[in-house]
Amino acid sequence: MAGASATAVPSPVDAGAQAAPSLWVAARRRFLRSATGMLGATLLVLFGLMAIFAGQVSPYDPIHQDFRIEREAPSATHLMGTDEFGRDVFSRVVWGARVSLQAGGVAASIALVAGLFLGMTAAYYRGRTDGLVMRSMDVLLSFPYLLLAIGIVAILGRGLLTAMIAIGIVYIPNYARVVRGAVLSVGARDFVEAARATGARDRRVMWQHVLPNVLAPIIVQATLNVGTAIIDTAGLSFLGLGTQPPTPDWGNMLSAGRSYIIDSPWIATFPGLAILATVLAFNLVGDALRDALDPRLL
């Protein structure tokens, strides 16, 4: 997951090469020079590897219960202690990374794909289509995020998959608006007119000429969004609407550990720190990308 977002920076270089070769190269250079961006990227690679190799990294079965060792403080045998079922907290945090990164990634992807499609459609066709699409987006935006997500989960049923879909839907308007704005400004440019004049069909104009030129803000939005999506899915799990027990999930672990916060604080603290570190990493990378890609800095 983290690997994917780290390589996402160089890949559009080729795609956008015809339009503005210097932008992507310069952006990469700026990103690599950003200390905080690189810290974030390193953290993401680490979490990504942890998620992929959870089976190898975690010392114990994350759902194996042993009441004889319940709520033991962190020690050499159990790095982050054990929870109220005697399960190894470190192993659960490691496996939880898989769930959380997957949840954040899938939710952000759903939002990205749908938002991209809707935003481009609205901006390209203008008029009624634009009105219809953007007013529906306004309706979605008028609900508080988490409340809307809870409503969607209530309709679709509890579980990780529905939680991811719900969070994805909730974030569609953000993308749709960003994409629409970018497409509107690019769509008025001469090269788009030129492409149209050569008889290119709508789809070709959009994908080949408009899209590469609106990627920058979307990449930034997506990177920042994975972080918020992780928090939100953890939030749904915390409320019992996301991942169902006993699957380790940082939100679930926080929720279960909070009643032991006074005498066994490690149960809730470590998953909390894991959420903090991951979201921070996505934000650092997102910020660095924004700085790197901001055309005003060119």
Q: Which of 22, 35, 56, 67 binds another protein (CB under 8 A)?
A: 67
- Least distance to another protein, CB of residue 253, Å: 12
Q: How many helices (H) and strands (E) does the chain have?
A: 14, 0
Does 189 help bind another protein (rule: CB under 8 A)? no
Question: Looking at beta carbons only, is 191 or 260 nearer to another protein?
Answer: 260
CA distance 237 to 159: 8
Phi and psi at residue 88, to the nearest 5°: -75, 120
Alpha carbons 271 and 99: distance in angstroms, whole number: 12
Number of residues that make up the chain: 298
The reply to whether 11 sits near another protein by the rule CB under 8 A is no
* Contact map string, positions 83 to 112, toward another protein, x by CB under 8 A: -xx---------------------------
**By CB under 8 A, residue 28 contacts another protein:** no
CB of 158 to another protein, least distance (A): 7
Q: Cα-atom radius of gyration of the chain, to the nearest Å? A: 22
10 phi, psi to nearest 5 deg = -70, -30
Q: Of the candidates 21, 25, 59, 64, which one interacts with another protein according to CB under 8 A?
A: 64
**Of residues 128-187, those binding another protein (CB under 8 A):** 158
Among 112, 167, 109, which Cα is nearest to 140's? 167
Residue 3 or 151: the one with the smaller Cβ distance to another protein is 151
Show the tokens assigned to 19: 């339009």
Question: What are the structure tokens assigned to 52, written together?
Answer: 């992929």
Binding window for another protein (CB under 8 A); candidates: 29-37, 110-118, 177-185, 240-248: 240-248
**Two structure tokens written together for 22:** 């210097």
244 belongs to the binding site for another protein (CB under 8 A): yes
Residue 196 engages another protein in binding (rule: CB under 8 A): no
Minimum Å distance from CB 206 to another protein?
A: 44
Q: Which residue has the tokens 């992507």?
A: 24
**Contact predicate 199/136, CB 8 Å:** no
**Residues that bind another protein in the complex, under the rule CB under 8 A:** 63-65, 67, 70, 84-85, 158, 240, 244-246, 256, 258-263
